[in-house]
Amino acid sequence: MAALAMCVATNTFAADSAPELQTETTLAQELNLSSAQIEQIKGLREQAAKELGSVKLDAIGQDVIVNMIKTGKWDEAAAKKQLQTISDVQAEARYYRAHYLFEVSKVLTAEQKTKLHEMLSGSEAMY
């Protein structure tokens, strides 16, 4: 579970994930971006990656639930705390992805925004 949360938090801009997380090169192809837009989006992506890198993952490193399974002793409070920590990390990562998308949308023309909206509407994982 901890590994899953870390994966979600650290791999949020993988090119093979939902369309809204594609690289500026893929976005350029999908949205027909100008070279100036590509450069702006590249800068936005770098900033978002830096923000995602600041997400604290050390609290997830303690996999309380796996240890409970190993010992055969359930601790309700510890389980809820662990799961809340994972949720908090995922929410913070989603926030940075959503902010990135908002900033990208400000660089787009009206037609490109419409296409981005279509791409986002068709994706399974929002943000």
pLDDT in tens, 17-30: 333 345 667 778 88
Q: Tell me, what DSSP letter sits at residue 125?
A: S
How confident is the model at residue 126, as a pLDDT? 60
Domain contains 47:
no
Domain contains 73:
yes
**pLDDT confidence band for 87 (50 / 70 / 90):** very high
Q: Is the pTM of this model over 0.75?
A: no
Domain contains 34:
no
Domain contains 110:
yes
Containing structural domain, residue 70: 56-121
Domain contains 108:
yes
How confident is the model at residue 125, as a pLDDT? 53
Domain contains 103:
yes
Domain contains 20:
no
Q: In angstroms, rounded to a whole number, what is the distance separating the alpha carbons of residues 65 and 7?
A: 18
Domain contains 63:
yes
Domain count, the chain: 1
How confident is the model at residue 123, as a pLDDT? 61
